[in-house]
Structure 1
Amino acid sequence: MGCIFCDIIKGDRLGHLIYEDDEHVAFLDKYPIDVGHSLVVPKRHYERITDMEPENVGKLFSLVPKIARSILHSTKADAFSLAQNNGKAAKQIVPHVHIHIIPRFNDKGTIWTKREISKDSDLAELAEKIRNSI
């Protein structure tokens, strides 16, 4: 079975990209915890962060502030959470390293488990807004 994130990176599956460079992409989560929930992903397939060279982990995490600022600006979020899971027991659903950036809103509270399926049209509109903010 193939990797969903590798398919998005190759363009074989729809992904609402908000950032791309030679080694990384960031895109909106199809099943967000909240509006603007995004994933920062290395283009090279690694299942767990422990499979990566330390300098590549650093490059991946160094993108978070820039992308998070744009998400906060575009969604008018009050704060954000980060998550990075490794392995099935840690609730890693897609076995490809990724960092979750989850916008948080004062009037909604902080919920980790509730997810909704977003409409592609809503994701496309939000992705464009975030890309333009980066």
Structure 2
Amino acid sequence: MHCIFCDIISGNREGHFIYEDADHVAFLDKYPIDKGHTLVVPKKHYEKITDMESGDVGNLFSKIPHIASKILAATKADAFSIAQNNGRAAKQIIPHVHVHIIPRYNDAGAIWTKRVILSQDELKVLAKQIRDHT
């Protein structure tokens, strides 16, 4: 099965990475709901979270506080939402497990369906800003 996220992880497709370790990556969503919208993805391909061992699920979610803190610092967001969808009926568009970290801004509201298309240059600059925050 062809997987866009596997292509990004392997470097066959462009991704704007903000985090990477031996088992996970985090990169900016190409169609963000809000500035800094990031996907945290296991490198190993799983379609749904129910396909994973519980320890692997815990390890995936353990990355979120560190990554979210960097996103909040770089974007000056006021808060963030976390989302994780499983299956087409749940609106999982890419069939590879991923967790959304969506920065939220007091003056923007929390709309789940709004999407913006950012340029590659905008994504590169934002990814660097987030990576540079410690």
Q: What interval of TM-score do these two structures reach, taking the shorter chain for normalisation?
A: over 0.9
After TM superposition, the score normalised by the length of structure 2 is 0.99
Question: How far 1:116 moved relative to its partner?
Answer: 1.1
CA distance in 2 between partners of 1:65 and 1:120 (Å): 26
1:55 aligns with 2:55: yes
Corresponding residue number in structure 2 for 1:11? 11
After TM superposition, the score normalised by the length of structure 1 is 0.99
What is the DSSP-based 3-state SS (H/G/I as helix, E as strand, rest coil) of the residue aligned with 1:81? strand
Amino acid at match of 1:95: P
CA distance in 1 between partners of 2:108 and 2:67 (Å): 22
What is the DSSP-based 3-state SS (H/G/I as helix, E as strand, rest coil) of the residue aligned with 2:22? coil
Corresponding residue number in structure 2 for 1:118? 118
Corresponding residue number in structure 2 for 1:72? 72
Corresponding residue number in structure 1 for 2:25? 25
CA distance in 2 between partners of 1:107 and 1:126 (Å): 20
Cα RMSD over matched residues? Answer: 0.7
Amino acid at match of 1:96: H
Amino acid at match of 1:16: H
What is the DSSP-based 3-state SS (H/G/I as helix, E as strand, rest coil) of the residue aligned with 2:116? coil
Q: Gaps (5+ residues) in structure 2?
A: none
What is the DSSP-based 3-state SS (H/G/I as helix, E as strand, rest coil) of the residue aligned with 1:112? coil
CA distance in 2 between partners of 1:132 and 1:58 (Å): 26
Question: How far 1:32 moved relative to its partner?
Answer: 0.1
CA distance in 2 between partners of 1:95 and 1:66 (Å): 25
Of 1-10 and 53-62, more deviation after overlay is shown by: 1-10
What is the DSSP-based 3-state SS (H/G/I as helix, E as strand, rest coil) of the residue aligned with 1:56? helix
Which of structure 1's runs of 4+ aligned residues deviate more than 3 A?
Answer: none
Identity of aligned residues (%): 69
Corresponding residue number in structure 1 for 2:43? 43
What is the DSSP-based 3-state SS (H/G/I as helix, E as strand, rest coil) of the residue aligned with 2:39? strand
Corresponding residue number in structure 2 for 1:2? 2
CA distance in 2 between partners of 1:116 and 1:4 (Å): 19
Q: Gaps (5+ residues) in structure 1?
A: none
Question: How far 1:132 moved relative to its partner?
Answer: 1.1
